[in-house]
Amino acid sequence: MYRQWSNGRVLGNFHSREELVSAIVEYIDYYRNDRPQRGLGILTPMEYHDMLMAA
């Protein structure tokens, strides 16, 4: 997960706790909402959710 999350950033590049927390929150949002998943038919979790709600 670290490599996927870091996107080339080294943990030491965060200059404050707030910057680190912001990056973590941003990654969690990406992971939950924007990351395509094979198990969902290459849909993002939100696209899959919307598809189920429309059915």
Mean pLDDT over residues 3-29, rounded? 70
Under the banding of pLDDT at 50, 70 and 90, the label for residue 12 is low
CA distances 6 to 13, 18, 39, 49, 53, Å, are 10, 16, 23, 27, 33
What's the pTM value of the predicted model, to 2 decimals?
Answer: 0.59
